[in-house]
């Protein structure tokens, strides 16, 4: 945030151990252990952004296969709505990062897999990030 608006965008992965999550959910237990583990959230480079949020779209490939893609219209919670809600109960400061939800198409992963995340504004590639599962 900068001056009350989004200062930049970047691609982040919020990984889940789906097998553990499903077992815990089936037992009615909290499933934070499926979300909180070493390397469970990784962030790529952030770039300045002052374009139209409605023109944003993203793509995620795993080992070269398109796994997830979404545009602004598919977001259940739009960025400015998220900022408004978060601001209602806590302060947002420069440098804070807000991660939005996961698009349809969650993929499984294993050691050695290569993830590539891309954010576009219209047809212009804004940022591309690469990760290898270790």
Residue 120's pLDDT band (cuts 50, 70, 90): very high
Q: How many Cβ atoms sit within 10 Å of the Cβ of residue 127?
A: 19
Residue 106, domain CATH: 3.90.850.10
- If phi > 0 it is left, if psi is from -120 to 50 it is alpha, else beta; for residue 101 that is beta
Question: For 59-118, how does the pLDDT look when each residue is reduced to its tens digit (9 = 90+)?
Answer: 999 999 998 888 988 888 888 888 899 999 999 998 899 988 777 766 678 889 999 999
Distance CA 29, CA 23 (A): 9
Residue at 33 is within a domain: yes
Residue at 46 is within a domain: yes
- Supply the pTM of this predicted model: 0.82
Query: What tokens appear for 12 in the block?
Result: 């982040």
So what's the pLDDT on residue 4? 55
Residue at 1 is within a domain: no
Q: How many Cβ atoms sit within 10 Å of the Cβ of residue 119?
A: 21
Residue at 86 is within a domain: yes
Domain that holds residue 71: 8-132
Distance CA 3, CA 133 (A): 36
């Amino acid at each position: 945030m900068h001056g009350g608006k989004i200062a930049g965008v970047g691609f982040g992965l919020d990984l889940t151990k789906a097998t553990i999550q499903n077992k815990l959910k089936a037992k009615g237990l909290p499933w934070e252990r499926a979300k909180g583990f070493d390397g469970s959230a990784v962030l790529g480079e952030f770039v300045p952004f002052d374009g139209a949020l409605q023109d944003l779209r993203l793509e995620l490939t795993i080992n070269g296969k398109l796994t997830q893609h979404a545009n602004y219209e598919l977001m259940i919670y739009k960025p400015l709505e998220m900022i408004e809600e978060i601001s209602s109960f806590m302060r947002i400061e420069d440098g804070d990062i807000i991660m939005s939800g996961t698009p349809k198409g969650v993929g499984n992963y294993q050691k050695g897999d290569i993830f590539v995340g891309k954010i576009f504004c219209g047809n212009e590639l804004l940022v591309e990030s690469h990760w290898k599962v270790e």
